[in-house]
Structure 1
Amino acid sequence: MTSYGYFLSCEQYGPHELVDQARRAEAAGFERLWISDHFHPWLDEQGQSPFVWSVVGALSQVTTLPISTAVTCPTIRVHPAIVAQAAATAAVQTEGRFVLGVGSGEALNEHVLGDRWPPVAERLEMLTEAVEVIRALHGGGVVNHRGRHYRVEDARLYTVPEQPVPIYVSGFGPQAATLAGQIGDGYCGVSPDASLVQTFRDAGGGAAPAQAGTKVCWAGSVDEGIDIAHRLWPNDALPGQLAQTLPRPQDFADATGLVDRDAIAATFSCGPDVDAHVGQLASYADAGYDEVYVQQIGPDHDDFFAAYRNEVLPALRAR
Structure 2
Amino acid sequence: MTTFGYFLSCEEHAPKELVRQAKAAERAGFEALWISDHFHPWLDEQGQAPFVWSVIGAVAEATSLPITTAVTCPLIRTHPVVVAQAAATTGALTGGRFRLGVGTGEALNEHVVESRWPPLSERLEMLEEAVGLMRELFTGKLVTHRGAHYRVDTARLYTLPDEPVPILMSGFGEKSTTLAGRLADGYISTAPDAESVTRFREAGGAGKPALGGLKACYAADEATARRTVHRLWPTQGIKGEASQILPLPRHFEQLAESVTEDEAVGGSPVGPDPEVHARALKEYVDAGFDEVYVNQIGTEQDAFFDFYEREVLPRVR
Same fold (TM over 0.5): yes
What is the CA-CA distance between 1:48 and the residue it aligns to?
Answer: 0.1
Task: Quote the residue 1:68 is aligned against.
Answer: 68
Q: How does 1:276-315 map to 2 (within 5 A)?
A: 276-315=276-315
1:241-298 alpha-carbon deviations (Å, 9 max, x no partner): 1111111100000111111011133331111110000011110111110000000002
Q: Secondary structure at the match of 2:90?
A: helix
Q: Secondary structure at the match of 1:117?
A: coil
Task: Quote the residue 2:163 is aligned against.
Answer: 163
Task: Quote the residue 2:45 is aligned against.
Answer: 45
Task: Quote the residue 2:138 is aligned against.
Answer: 138
Q: Deviating runs (4+, > 4 A) in structure 1?
A: none
Task: Quote the residue 2:266 is aligned against.
Answer: 266
CA contact (8 A) 2:3 2:291 kept: yes
Structure 1 distance, partners of 2:301, 2:114, is 38
Percent identity over the alignment is: 57
What is the CA-CA distance between 1:299 and the residue it aligns to?
Answer: 1.3
Task: Quote the residue 2:229 is aligned against.
Answer: 229
What is the CA-CA distance between 1:52 and the residue it aligns to?
Answer: 0.2
Q: Secondary structure at the match of 2:188?
A: strand
Structure 2 distance, partners of 1:228, 1:157, is 44
Structure 2 distance, partners of 1:114, 1:96, is 33
Q: How does 1:239-254 map to 2 (within 5 A)?
A: 239-254=239-254
Structure 1 distance, partners of 2:306, 2:84, is 37
Q: Secondary structure at the match of 2:23?
A: helix
Task: Quote the residue 1:58 is aligned against.
Answer: 58
Deviates more, 1:107-116 or 1:185-194: 107-116
Q: Secondary structure at the match of 1:149?
A: coil
Equivalences, count: 317
CA contact (8 A) 1:137 1:143 kept: yes
User: Gapped runs of 5+ residues in structure 1?
Assistant: none
Task: Quote the residue 1:196 is aligned against.
Answer: 196
Structure 2 distance, partners of 1:223, 1:68, is 32
Counterpart of 2:85, as a letter, is Q
Task: Quote the residue 1:257 is aligned against.
Answer: 257
Task: Quote the residue 2:213 is aligned against.
Answer: 213
Q: Secondary structure at the match of 2:6?
A: strand
Structure 1 distance, partners of 2:81, 2:302, is 40
CA contact (8 A) 2:236 2:266 kept: no
Structure 1 distance, partners of 2:77, 2:155, is 19
Q: Secondary structure at the match of 1:81?
A: helix
Task: Quote the residue 2:35 is aligned against.
Answer: 35
Structure 1 distance, partners of 2:177, 2:114, is 28
1:171-198 alpha-carbon deviations (Å, 9 max, x no partner): 0111110000010000000000100111
Task: Quote the residue 1:19 is aligned against.
Answer: 19
1:29-55 alpha-carbon deviations (Å, 9 max, x no partner): 000000000000000000000000000
Counterpart of 1:114, as a letter, is E
Structure 2 distance, partners of 1:262, 1:235, is 12
Structure 1 distance, partners of 2:41, 2:264, is 19
CA contact (8 A) 1:76 1:115 kept: no
CA contact (8 A) 2:76 2:114 kept: no
Task: Quote the residue 1:5 is aligned against.
Answer: 5
Q: Secondary structure at the match of 2:55?
A: helix
What is the CA-CA distance between 1:70 and the residue it aligns to?
Answer: 0.3
Counterpart of 2:162, as a letter, is E
CA contact (8 A) 2:143 2:152 kept: yes
What TM-score comes out, normalization by structure 2 length? Answer: 0.99
Q: Secondary structure at the match of 1:41?
A: coil
What TM-score comes out, normalization by structure 1 length? Answer: 0.98
Task: Quote the residue 1:152 is aligned against.
Answer: 152
Counterpart of 1:72, as a letter, is T
Structure 2 distance, partners of 1:258, 1:246, is 16
What is the CA-CA distance between 1:115 and the residue it aligns to?
Answer: 3.6
Q: Secondary structure at the match of 1:280?
A: helix
Q: Secondary structure at the match of 1:294?
A: strand
Q: Secondary structure at the match of 1:74?
A: coil
CA contact (8 A) 1:219 1:298 kept: no
Structure 1 distance, partners of 2:115, 2:64, is 38
What is the CA-CA distance between 1:301 and the residue it aligns to?
Answer: 1.5
Task: Quote the residue 1:98 is aligned against.
Answer: 98
Structure 2 distance, partners of 1:213, 1:94, is 22
